[in-house]
Amino acid sequence: MIDRLQFIKQRFDEVSDLVINPDIIADQKRYVALNKEYKELKALVEKRDEYMTAVANLEEAQEIIADGSDAEMVEMAKLQLDEAKEALPVLEEEIKFMLIPKDPEDAKNVLVEIRAGTGGDEASIFAGDLYRMYSKYCENKGWRTSVVDVSQGTSGGYKEVIFEVSGDDVYGTLKFEAGVHRVQRVPQTETQGRIHTSAATVMVLPEAEEFDVQLDMNEVRIDYFCSSGPGGQSVNTTKSAVRLTHIPTGLVAQCQDEKSQHKNKDKATQVLRSRLYEMELAKKQEEDAAKRNSQVSSGDRSAKIRTYNYPQGRVTDHRIGLTLYDLDGVMNGSVQKLIDELQLVNNTEKLKESDVY
């Protein structure tokens, strides 16, 4: 492991010099890639320094104990030896997980799409609940969110809501939330007090840069229409909303959140580019999942991943069989425990198939 860590330290020193090179800064694509590598290596080098200090302490303690000439020093060395022996396995385990090759998409910002599924008005209300849950989670993480497009439900909530999330390692964290979410509860619209099961689908698209996807605008049909919903006098009077249709794939993206037609077109283009990128990524994830029989990243958008049961106050993630009796906390943005467990399972799967040493 020490040889591997030494190589990482050398690479970190190289990248540290490269990111301040004016030629590299001028090449935006390379600069972004190197800056991302710098951040990842920095965390690993800091952990390496902790590990090397523990190794040095262990060796120093062993030398003092072997010498045995100073009884007081030997007693202190024994304590130091015990501390080092306790710290090293923990640090080794942490470094092993940090050495697992990261997916290149993990550092990207995302577009999250939440759509009401089966369950009528109650499904729309649940989609709204999920949007609030993720909004609070993102706020707690210090991530920025911005609505791209919404379609209101008839009794509250949303038929569909699309929003951007930007921050550190957003896709690597939120990608596990993609799939079908079920809710079991007595709907607000139910008069008989019966428990219903409704669903909403969550999609998490890594935000595609221009160099990720070549989008030929000659293959895109552009339609302009009046915005709907709240927004003041300009609604239904100016054609500021934009819908883009990618003719070869049939993918559609629209935006009506901004008052400016130009800004809506830019946002819709970003959504379309990300959908094209995610389509290719989903194929790759499916292939990867088939290779290692992955539980948590199958790329299957129709997979039922989680149930929110209100009468029992529980949330169950079906992929890893985890149940939390903290429904109120989860719906108020405390999703991290679920995501941590999913990341752990995913990393363990990767660890089995990769030689980190």
Give the H or E element holding residue 322: strand 322-324
Judge whether 265 and 242 are in contact, CB under 8 Å. Answer: yes
In this predicted structure, the answer to whether residue 322 has a pLDDT above a threshold of 90 is yes
Q: How confident is the model at residue 163 (pLDDT cuts 50, 70, 90)?
A: very high
Q: What pLDDT shows up at residue 290?
A: 60
In this predicted structure, the answer to whether residue 354 has a pLDDT above a threshold of 70 is no
Distance separating alpha carbons of residues 182 and 184, to the nearest angstrom: 7
Judge whether 323 and 316 are in contact, CB under 8 Å. Answer: yes
Segment among 71-75, 156-160, 206-210 with least mean pLDDT: 206-210
Collapsed DSSP state (helix, strand, coil) of residue 147: strand
Determine whether 28 is exposed, middle or buried from the number of CB atoms within 10 Å of its CB (0-12, 13-18, 19+): exposed
Percent of the chain with pLDDT over 90: 50
Listing DSSP states for 178-237 in one string gives: -EEEEEEE--TT-SS---EEEEEEEEEEEPPPTTT----GGGEEEEEE---SSS-TTTTT
For 262-294, what is each residue's pLDDT tens digit? 888 888 888 888 888 888 777 766 766 665 555
Judge whether 350 and 106 are in contact, CB under 8 Å. Answer: no
In this predicted structure, the answer to whether residue 28 has a pLDDT above a threshold of 70 is yes
Give the H or E element holding residue 160: strand 158-166
Which carries the bigger pLDDT value, residue 313 or residue 267? 313
CA atoms within 13 A on the CB side of 309: 12
For 217-262, what is each residue's pLDDT tens digit? 889 899 888 876 554 444 455 678 898 999 999 999 988 877 788 8
Which carries the bigger pLDDT value, residue 295 or residue 45? 45
Segment among 16-25, 108-117, 342-351 with least mean pLDDT: 342-351
Listing DSSP states for 14-65 in one string gives: HHHHHTT-HHHHHSHHHHHHHHHHHHHHHHHHHHHHHHHHHHHHHHHHHHHH
For 170-220, what is each residue's pLDDT tens digit? 999 999 999 999 999 998 767 678 899 999 999 999 887 766 677 888 898
- Largest CA-CA distance found in the chain, in angstroms, rounded: 92
Distance separating alpha carbons of residues 355 and 84, to the nearest angstrom: 25
In DSSP terms, 204 is beta-bridged to 112
Supply the mean pLDDT for the chain.
87
Task: Give helix 71-98 / helix 28-67 axis angle, nearest 10°.
Answer: 150
Q: What pLDDT shows up at residue 274?
A: 87
Distance separating alpha carbons of residues 181 and 338, to the nearest angstrom: 14
Enter the pTM of the model.
0.71
- Token digits of residue 267: 């946002």
Segment among 131-135, 151-155, 158-162, 205-209 with least mean pLDDT: 205-209
Q: What pLDDT shows up at residue 348?
A: 84
Average pLDDT of span 69-96: 93
In this predicted structure, the answer to whether residue 130 has a pLDDT above a threshold of 90 is yes
In DSSP terms, 236 is beta-bridged to none
Average pLDDT of span 60-81: 93
Among left, alpha and beta (phi > 0; psi -120 to 50; other), residue 250 is left
Contacts 24+ apart (CB under 8 A), 319-325: 319/295, 319/345, 320/295, 320/296, 320/345
